[in-house]
With several copies, the nearest count.
Chain A
Amino acid sequence: MNNQKYLDSLKNKTLFLQGDEAAAYGALFAGCNFFAGYPITPASEIAELMSRELPKSGGYYIQMEDEIASIGAVIGAVWSGGKSMTATSGPGFSLMQENIGYACMTESPCVIVDVQRSGPSTGQATKGAQGDVLQARWGTHGDHEMIALSPWSSQESFDLMIEAFNLSEKYRNPVIFLLDGEVGHIREKVVFPDINELNIYQRNISLEKIDVFGGQRIPPMIEFGMGQRIHVTGSTHKSNGMRDVSSMEAHDTLIRRIYDKISSNRNEIAHFETHYIDNMDYLAVSYGAAARPTMGAVLKLRERGIKIGFLRLITIWPFPIDICTELGKRTKKIFVPEMNLGQVSREIERFVNCPVESVSKIGGISHTIDEITNYISANI
């Protein structure tokens, strides 16, 4: 079976899938043909599904000796024409940080799934969390930007994974797919689309020898083996890829371009969903697993006559600054239910002048609707 045939065989199917599994299928629909990974709870389901399905669609699954090797192989595959990804959880995500920076620096498109579990360190390995949100942005050394997406359901996990690949190809940047152990493990209905109707971003590959690392904000890529004899390096390089480790200008030009290509397209990359924001006194902001009981709580509070709006972030990085700034002006207080000790709430503080209150819950179990409802009721 080749990829087209394989995807046709899945066309319009409805399945009962875990968020992890849905993400893996999303990747297959996006054209992923290379997966390298290392088992870890609660992300192993992605690897297992990929090991089963990739050979059917003509792709390759490898289990590497660790997570560092996994992300390494993923990047190697990218430059060899692959659409590639890995999946892990916090401990593995920490180990990958050095090479995630390499992917930023070499502008290698790839998707890294972090199914967040209760940390730090080994923590509670089978419990979900949202504790890696700021790590996704700042985990590697040096200045860089990052794209990170966080779905709240199995269906969105599928859909957003396609978007993750598209963004990574379009912006030539790694994309962090911030699942959490809860969304990763709930089984829900997922409807597959028809692959022919999907919008899959095709990698911009140059067959001629051109500047692959500059000259334009997002240069085209090449593929190894086509005769361009390209030089790819994580050291500072000129637009032709050749190392330049002494000139300040080379570094400044490269890093600012890599930074700006994301930050200046913030609004194009930033996805979110709003509810009841036209007529609100308060605002709830949430994402991923925590967004579900938050939505439930918003509905309940509205029923009780409390004018609360809801902003659900889908893109976490680059941070949807504009909508936050705007809504911040129209609310008395912002509540941010998160399964961490307040990470997105910190970011919001940068852009608003109203009080921002983290409604944090840790320990592996997402908020109940009542917990959020009661907290907000008591603190408005």
Chain B
Amino acid sequence: MNIRFSGFGGQGIILSGVILGWAAVLDGKNAIQTQSYGSSARGGSCKCDVIIQESAIYELEPEHNDILITFSQPSYNAFIKSLKEGGHLFYDSDLVTVDTNEFPCNSIPATDIAFKEFKQKIYANMLMLGFLAEKIRFIGFRAIEKSISQYVPTKTIEMNIAAFRMGIDLAK
């Protein structure tokens, strides 16, 4: 399964991918994660790809994704074409306007909720991750939570997991 997270730098895009990839490994799967970063343009769009498979992973840069998660209009525009037929689109409904109905869509106003519920926009990524995990159910929640607690600063583990769980609830 090929999953692409995308958005602006600073939205925690790459962290989401790393957490998911590692969670897949903890769950006994094979996973690789790659990211693209601009040279100077820190504010520009950024992406993070995760490939998760039961078998060994030989392809490093898949042409098409099964899942696209996007947190900004420019990245939506740039990457919607990479989504496979039948692929799933996830997006922040406040930040992205979708102009196609080719794909099954899933959205929450993650950034807004994060700001309202956790006082910091940065938790949007964990909200979305929970939302995604529940909708797709390909990686165990336990593995993801373990991965979260390994990757986020110790002081924020609780908050991040709370956001993740809220994401799950929102998807139910």
Asked whether any CB of A lies within 8 Å of a CB of B in the complex, the reply is yes
A interface residue numbers (CB < 8 A to B): 14, 16, 41, 125-126, 182-183, 185-189, 245, 289, 292-293, 295-296, 299, 365-366, 368-369
Query: Contact between B34 and A293 (Cβ–Cβ < 8 Å)?
Result: no
Q: Contact between A368 and B36 (Cβ–Cβ < 8 Å)? A: no
By the criterion CB–CB under 8 Å, are A185 and B22 in contact?
A: no
Q: Complex Cα distance A178/B57, Å?
A: 21
**17 A-B pairs (CB sep. < 8 Å):** A16-B18, A16-B21, A16-B31, A41-B39, A126-B37, A126-B39, A182-B61, A183-B60, A186-B32, A186-B60, A187-B33, A188-B33, A292-B58, A295-B58, A296-B59, A365-B61, A368-B61
CB atoms of B31 and A189 under 8 A apart? yes
Q: Residue among B18, B21, B32, B57 with the most chain A CB within 10 A?
A: B32
Most buried by A among B21, B36, B60, B61: B60
Cβ-defined contact, A16 with B60, below 8 A = no
**Cα distance, A186 to B57, chains bound together (Å):** 11
> Would A187 and B39 be within 8 Å (CB), given that A16-B22, A369-B58 are in contact?
no
Interface pair A366/B61, CB less than 8 Å apart: yes
Residues of B at the A interface (CB closer than 8 Å) are: 18, 21-22, 25, 30-39, 57-63
Minimum CB–CB distance from B42 to chain A (whole Å) comes to 13
| CB atoms of B62 and A185 under 8 A apart | no
Contacting pair B58 A296 (CB below 8 A): yes
Residues of B within 8 A of A185 (CB): 34-35
Query: In the complex, which residues of chain A have a beta carbon less than 8 angstroms from the beta carbon of B57?
Result: 292
| A292 x B39 contact (CB < 8 A) | no
User: In the complex, A182→B21 CA distance in Å?
Assistant: 17
CB-based contact B35/A188 at 8 Å: no
Partner among B21, B39, B59 whose Cβ is within 8 Å of the Cβ of A293 = B59
Min CB distance A160 to B, Å, is 18
Which residues of A sit under 8 angstroms from B30, Cβ to Cβ? Answer: 189
Given contacts A126-B38, A188-B32, 7 further A-B contacts (CB under 8 A): A126-B36, A187-B32, A292-B58, A299-B58, A366-B60, A368-B59, A369-B59
Contact assessment for B60 and A182 in the assembled complex, using a CB-CB cutoff below 8 Å:
yes
Complex contact A186–B33 (CB within 8 A): yes
A289 and B21 alpha carbons, distance in the complex (Å): 19
Query: What are the 4 tightest A-B residue pairs by CB atom distance, in nearest-first order?
Result: A296-B58, A187-B33, A16-B22, A292-B58
CA distance A368 to B63 in the complex (A): 8
**Complex Cα spacing A189 to B53, Å:** 13
Say whether B61 contacts A16, CB under 8 Å: no
Of chain A, the residue at the smallest CB distance from B58 is A296
Cα A41 to Cα B21 in complex, Å, equals 23
B62 to A, closest residue via Cβ: A368
Q: Chain A residues with Cβ under 8 A from B31's Cβ?
A: 16, 188-189
Among A292, A365, A369, chain B packs the most CB atoms within 10 A around the CB of A292
Give complex CA distance A182, B58 in Å.
12
A187/B59 in contact, CB under 8 A: no
Q: Within the assembled complex, what's the spacing in Å between the Cα atoms of A126 and B34?
A: 12
